[in-house]
Chain A
């Protein structure tokens, strides 16, 4: 039951902090190494972002973000255990130390950065909120949604954006708030609401779960900015840097043309940027507390950012999402990583 889990997490937080008094010596990296695996919080099932297949293997862009960190630390992309979390549970799980990092299509906002004791370590997908509607209601634009009943998942920025949007437009709506995205789709499919709202990347996936996907369509409006990315606890800058730079390495690798297929060949490259990225030159890894070849491991085992995108959410996947603003800055997008040097 969700509520018992929240209570359990609350108590874990209280007791965890109780026992950890004055013994904050071990860093997250040391703890992870000692455990032998990375504990990563993900969604309980969102195609393209994190979803277990029939064999129980997790796939998705958020999952790959975790795997990349594991590859950097252990040289093994499978040294990860995944904790499926609802939107409501995610921050408490991270605060209480139940997970080492959270990679659960989570929107980076000021409040979350400043008051939850958490840090966002970059953006692995730039998203925005949209609307999925039942074609039967005959609406072409979000401004016609006055009086609509809207299904929504609890504990997300979506809930706030929706309210802001309707208030700004002087329109009314009735929110039906469900715990998980499965229940939200079920409520929409059952006709409890006219509209389902969520991040646009999810709408396509959720629409594909309907028994008759052609009965629903996605409105053209995008009502918010949703930069999604991995999150870590505050107070451990080394760990924050590791997660941040593993993602940056993947983005830089795409920019430099390093892929999982050619990562071994690129070790012989005489481009100093690639040498620093793959660890054949300099001590970039040591500065982070990682092996010097962590960049090579990340790209070889998980791939660069573009590979990660294409494999999970790109045009050839069931989600079929174009790169759009998630393209590299050199190709008209805004995906930009600071240099490895």
Chain B
């Protein structure tokens, strides 16, 4: 059956004269070319590597690694696979990055605010800090902390000893490790209960303040609850924690938790360096809030601290967050300088030793790049969500 339709619309331009069709056509060609180029690149690389007798594929991830790694957050020993070395490296990278982001943010905000302080000495000290730290290459700072500072700590046998529980020497900082015993569930319960109570109080206090104007000291009460409830539940449960104390065994300390100097040096250097940039970002954010806002807040009788917390910072955040995101990204990427001082991060372990033992450069480099890309995109994503939350709500 043939169905005939009669087009009553006025005749449009021919398809090849239609700008919409044309732009779609050329975009399709562009995409096809990109994909074709990518495919040719991959295909040629693979076939040429094969013809040169270089192993390809990801089978190596299941082979036994056979080398030691000094620090692992996931269980690891030399009998495990190359795939496991990837996770060891990745978790070490994430650990130092997360520690760095937290420390750099806190330090950066303090210094940024100090830079604007009306106290001459405080403001100038913040200025000197920023100008010195951000103008020295990060790698030099890492070397400084590692070789000039931490290496000069005493040897294990002359450790700095704090109460027989905490030791500091040039092999690291040794802390007692809490070993949870039976009945620790009660303490966990206490902690959760305390958190729930604080959240509840906060909601109630806000409601009451809106209704009656009375202010409840949420912060002080909250801290008291968070400290006291877990302690009480700890005592009630019969002290279900035993401490594994570090002790000198042979020529090194064993037991407890060790913070190796490589981690410390990298963390300190990354935090101080990034904090100097964050401080400038915070300063620019605060300065972007018009003076009228501060004056209006003062006119309402708000003290300085509250003015900063309730009026200035929330508005400054809108300016601060986008550049802050790129500082976080920089910090994560800069953490790969770890390889210079022997901290076992992803680049040192996976793109270093694993690449060299397996020789599969293309695969390992591709995986590593994909990981950094993923981490960066995730950070951007979360910061964008946060940015949307604090952005001006147009009603």
Query: Which residues of A are interface residues toward B (Cβ below 8 A)?
Result: 1-3, 6-7, 9-10, 13-15, 17-18, 20-21, 24, 87-88, 91-92, 95, 111-112, 115-117, 136-137, 146-149, 154-156, 159-160, 162-164, 166-167, 173-179, 183, 186-187, 190-192, 194, 233-235
Contacts and interface: CB of A to CB of B under 8 A. Distances in A.
B54 A117 contact: yes
Nearest to B250: A147
Given A155-B357, A179-B339, A167 B45 contact: no
A24 B48 CA distance: 10
B58 interface: no
B221 interface: no
A20 B48 contact: yes
Contacts of B361: 6, 9-10, 13, 91-92, 95
Interface string B338-358: 011110100110011101111
B252 A177 contact: no
Contacts of A13: 45, 49, 361-362
A235 B342 contact: no
Given A1-B139, A176-B70, 20 more contacts: A3-B351, A13-B45, A13-B361, A15-B41, A18-B40, A87-B356, A91-B356, A115-B359, A116-B55, A117-B359, A154-B353, A159-B67, A159-B68, A160-B67, A162-B68, A163-B66, A163-B78, A179-B339, A179-B340, A235-B51
Contact of A235 (B41, B52, B340): B52
Contacts of A91: 356, 359, 361
A192 B254 contact: no
B48 A116 contact: no
A231 to B, nearest CB: 12
B251 A147 contact: yes
A85 to B, nearest CB: 11
A1 B139 CA distance: 10
A175 B69 contact: yes
B370 to A, nearest CB: 13
Given A9-B361, A10-B362, A147-B252, A95 B54 contact: yes
B365 interface: yes
B171 interface: yes
Given A6-B361, A154-B348, A186 B251 contact: no
B280 interface: no
B336 interface: yes
B376 interface: no
Contacts of B78: 163-164, 167
